[in-house]
Amino acid sequence: MRTRVAATLTALVLSVGLAAAAPASADPVVSPDDAIDYVALGDSYTAGPLIPLPTPGPLGCVRSSSNYPAFLASYLKVRTFTDVSCSAARTEHLFTSQTGNLPAGLPENQNAPQLLAVTPETDLVTLGIGGNDFGLFGEMIDQCGALAAEQPDASSPCRDHFTVDGVDTKIRDAQAIRGNVETALAAIAERAPDATIVVVNYLHILPESGTCADVPFAEGDYAWGTTVHQALNTSLREAAAAQGAEYVDMYAASAGHDACAGDAAWVNGATVKPTAAISYHPFRSGMKAIADETYRQLTGAEPAAFVLPVLQLANRLPALVDLGALLTYVASGGSVPTQTIDDASAPEPGVLADVVARLAELDAAVPTAP
C-alpha cells in the first residue's frame, strides 16, 4: 500500500508540472507483460539531480522524474512504482534516514531509510549505490581539478594526494565497498524474498584515452581515475554475484559516451548545467540508456521506441482526484498533511485509511543490517 500511495502522489505532482552496452539476457527474468511492484533505491546516479522535472518528497533528494527508474517503470507494466533514491546517499542510508541537500533548517530535507520502501509484495528492486561510500567519488571531484591547476607540471597529483604511506586509499576504499553492498543486498532480499534484485553500476565518466577541457584533471589522473572507477564497479559486480542479484554493466554499455564525448556524452563534465545535470552526473540521455539496457537484460526484449516517463506515470492517476487535496499537496512541497490524506477522494472506499495504517506499520519497522 505504501508503494501505491507514493506512486499516486508523485504522479499527481508531475501531472501538474506538465500542465503549468551489456547484451540482453538469454534467459529473461521479468516478463514485460506482468504487472509488477517496482522499487528503486540508490544515490544521485539513480536520482538524476537537475534533470527536468524534479519530483517532490523530499525535495532535498533532488530526484528527477526522468531518471532511469522512471524510464524503466514506463517500459514495464508496473502496478506500483516507488523511487526513494536520494542524491548523496551512501549504503548506510538504506538503513538510516538521510539529510538531503537543501540548506539546514528547510523542510522536505529528510529521506527515510530507503529499505522501508521494500516489502514482501515487491517484485523488482533496482539498486545503484556505493560511489559515495568513504567519500570515494566526491573527494576526487573536489580535489582532482584543483590539484591539477595548482600543480600544472605534475603528472598525477590527485593520485599522489590520495596515496598515503604507499597505499592508494581510493583503490582500497573502492574494494571495501563490496562488503557494504553485499550487506545491502542481503537486507533487500530479506525484506522481499521473491523479488528480482538488480545492481546497476556506474557509467563511464573518463574517456578510454585522451583528455578534454570538460574534465580538468591532470593527464596521469585520467588513467588513475579510470582504475578507481573500475575497482568500484568490480566490487559491485562481485557483490551482486555473491548475493545472487542481476548485474547491469553500464560501464561497458557507455563506452564512447563519457564526459569528453561532446554531443554523444551521457555524463556531464565539470560544469554544472542547471537544466541538464550537475557536474560528473548523467544527463537524461544517460538515464534513458541505463533504463534501455536494464530492460533488455531483464526481459530479453527491446524497449519502446519513444516514451515520456512523466506522462507514463501520470497515466496511473486514480480515476477520481480531489483537486483541493492535490493543490494542498503541491503547495506543501510534497509534505502530505494527515488531514489532506483523510479528506482526499479515492476510487475505492476505505483505501486511504488502509494506506495510512500500512504506513504507520512500516514506519515502526525500521530495518536493521543483517
The stretch 96-116 carries a mean pLDDT of 86
What is the distance between the alpha carbons of residues 105 and 107, in angstroms, rounded to a whole number?
A: 7
Q: pLDDT tens, 232-248?
A: 999 999 999 999 999 99
Q: What is Dmax (Cα atoms) for the chain?
A: 71
C-alpha cell of 184?
545491502
* Residue 281 falls in the annotated catalytic set: yes
Q: Bigger pLDDT: 205 or 99?
A: 205
Instruction: Give the model's confidence band at 26: pLDDT under 50 very low, under 70 low, under 90 confident, else very high.
Output: low
Q: Bigger pLDDT: 355 or 233?
A: 233
Give the CA distances from residue 235 to residues 45, 151, 229, in Å, rounded to whole numbers and listed in that order.
17, 32, 10
Q: pLDDT tens, 166-187?
A: 999 999 999 999 999 999 999 9
Q: pLDDT tens, 326-335?
A: 444 344 433 3
Strands 98-99 and 163-164: unpaired
Q: pLDDT tens, 206-219?
A: 999 999 999 999 99
Q: How distant is the alpha carbon of residue 288 from its chain centre?
A: 13
**Nearest CA-CA partner of 198 in 39, 367, 32, 47:** 39
Beta strands in 129-263 (DSSP E): 163-164, 167-168, 196-200, 246-248
The stretch 296-322 carries a mean pLDDT of 64
* Residue 85 falls in the annotated catalytic set: no
Judged against a pLDDT cut of 60, whether residue 230 lies above it is answered with yes
- Burial (CB < 10 A; 0-12, 13-18, 19+), residue 182, is buried
pLDDT at 188: 97
Instruction: Give the model's confidence band at 103: pLDDT under 50 very low, under 70 low, under 90 confident, else very high.
Output: confident
Helix axes 284-299, 68-75, angle to 10 degrees: 40
Domains of the chain plus CATH, in order, are 2-364 (3.40.50.1110)
Judged against a pLDDT cut of 70, whether residue 354 lies above it is answered with no
- Listed in sequence order, the residues at least 6 apart from 190 whose beta carbon sits closer than 8 Å to its beta carbon are 370
Q: pLDDT tens, 137-168?
A: 999 999 999 999 999 999 999 999 999 999 99
Which candidate in 25, 31, 44, 229 is catalytic? 44
Q: Scanning the structure block, which residue is given the C-alpha cell 559515495?
A: 132
Answer yes or no: are the C-beta atoms of 221 and 159 closer than 8 Å: yes
Which candidate in 64, 93, 281, 285 is catalytic? 281
Helix, strand or coil for residue 307?
A: coil
The stretch 91-105 carries a mean pLDDT of 88
Q: Which amino acid is at 328?
A: T
Q: How high is the mean pLDDT of the chain? A: 81
